[in-house]
């Protein structure tokens, strides 16, 4: 990992110094790693951790030097094993609703970041952990990864978007099976079902994530960000309106310096140098 903080990120490093449960660290030029760092409780999410995640996402959003964000959990057992049950057990019905709203808001903020976000699932991604992974743009999984929404075993429903994002990713029937049985899906099945994009040995997961993120970071920033917006906004539109939106954004992309450079480089047979 690059131990030097790139220009423009000194403020982010200073702001993150007081966090207890989150790490935000550079990995390569334009690539940062956000780590849920509560290994003693398998990186379980409580209100304080969600609040720090929220602050970290605000930093990422306003830091142009970050072009791709990787998200993972510390240790070798868990990405995020779920929401903190010890924390949740003490909540009243109204407090439970507020906790769900907090998690929903943070994960939606993650989903709506302009930059691509890649989850590196290095172990258990259950309940809130699976919901966190699904809020990223796509998932790379270690061979020991396990996905699931086991909330029915606790007598509750998913609270951070699991019933909605899982259905969109794996289909209604499979989502219903997972949500109502609480069973875990291994990495191979996650790959087969389209939940994960790739599966790697655990020791190679971070390196493969950085490699892919670096590849994205070399592309036109404006084209990548506009493409993400098209995918995010178009998936809930009917095809006709989604295609109209794509035509509009395609035209907009012609106003960028990156379009000039990209097409010139292609015609001149050289590698583009995007701004």
| Token output for 263 | 């097409």
State the CATH architecture for 221-268. Answer: Orthogonal Bundle (1.10)
| Token output for 124 | 């258990």
- pLDDT tens digits, residue range 174-194? 999 999 999 999 999 999 999
> What is the crossing angle of helices 93-111 and 47-61, to 10°?
20
Report the pLDDT value the prediction gives residue 207, as an integer from 0 to 100: 98
Q: Are 104 and 50 in contact (CB under 8 A)?
A: no
Q: Look at domain 10-217 and name its CATH class.
A: alpha beta
The residue to which tokens 């670096």 are assigned = 214
**Residue 273 annotated as catalytic:** no
The total of other beta-carbon atoms located within 10 Å of residue 203's CB is: 10
Sorted by sequence, the CB contacts under 8 Å of residue 116 that are 6+ apart come out as 68, 69, 137, 213, 216, 224, 228
Residue 181, beta-bridge partner list: none
**Whole-angstrom Cα distance, residue 34 to residue 53?**
9
Instruction: From the candidates 95, 151, 189, 268, give the one annotated as an active-site residue.
Output: 151
Report the pLDDT value the prediction gives residue 10, as an integer from 0 to 100: 62
Q: Which of 105, 8, 86 is nearest to 46 (CA)?
A: 86
Report the pLDDT value the prediction gives residue 17, as an integer from 0 to 100: 73
- pLDDT tens digits, residue range 228-237? 999 999 999 9
Which contiguous run of DSSP H or E holds residue 158? none
**Residue 52 annotated as catalytic:** no
Instruction: From the candidates 131, 204, 260, 261, give the one annotated as an active-site residue.
Output: 131
DSSP string spanning 20-55? SSEEEEEEETTEEEEEE--GGGTT-B-HHHHHHHHH
**Whole-angstrom Cα distance, residue 197 to residue 93?**
37
| Token output for 41 | 């409780």
Report the pLDDT value the prediction gives residue 134, as an integer from 0 to 100: 98
Q: Which residues of the chain have pLDDT under 50?
A: 1-8
Domain ranges of the chain: 10-217, 221-268
């Amino acid at each position: 990992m690059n131990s030097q903080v790139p220009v423009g990120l000194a403020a982010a490093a200073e702001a993150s110094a007081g966090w207890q449960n989150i790490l935000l660290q550079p990995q390569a030029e334009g690539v940062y790693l956000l780590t849920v760092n509560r290994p003693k409780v398998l990186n379980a999410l409580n209100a304080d951790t969600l609040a720090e995640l929220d602050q970290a996402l605000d930093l990422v959003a306003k830091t142009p030097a970050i072009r791709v964000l990787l998200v993972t959990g510390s240790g070798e057992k868990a990405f995020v094993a779920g929401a903190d049950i010890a924390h949740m057990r003490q909540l009243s019905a109204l407090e439970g609703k507020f906790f769900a709203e907090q998690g929903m808001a943070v994960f939606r903020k993650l989903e709506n970041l302009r930059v691509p976000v890649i989850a590196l699932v290095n172990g258990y991604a259950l309940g809130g952990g699976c919901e966190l992974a699904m809020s990223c743009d796509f998932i790379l999984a270690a061979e020991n990864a396990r996905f699931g929404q086991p909330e029915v075993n606790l007598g509750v429903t998913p609270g951070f978007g699991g019933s909605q994002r899982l259905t969109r990713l794996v289909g209604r029937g499979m989502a219903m099976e997972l949500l109502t049985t609480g069973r875990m899906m291994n990495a191979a099945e996650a790959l087969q079902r389209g939940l994960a994009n790739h599966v790697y040995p655990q020791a190679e997961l971070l390196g493969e994530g950085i490699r892919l993120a670096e590849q994205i970071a070399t592309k036109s920033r404006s084209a990548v960000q506009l493409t993400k917006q098209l995918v995010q906004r178009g998936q809930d539109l009917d095809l006709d309106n989604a295609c109209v939106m794509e035509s509009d954004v395609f035209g907009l992309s012609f106003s960028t310096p990156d379009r000039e450079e990209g097409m010139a480089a292609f015609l001149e047979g050289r590698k583009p140098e995007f701004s």
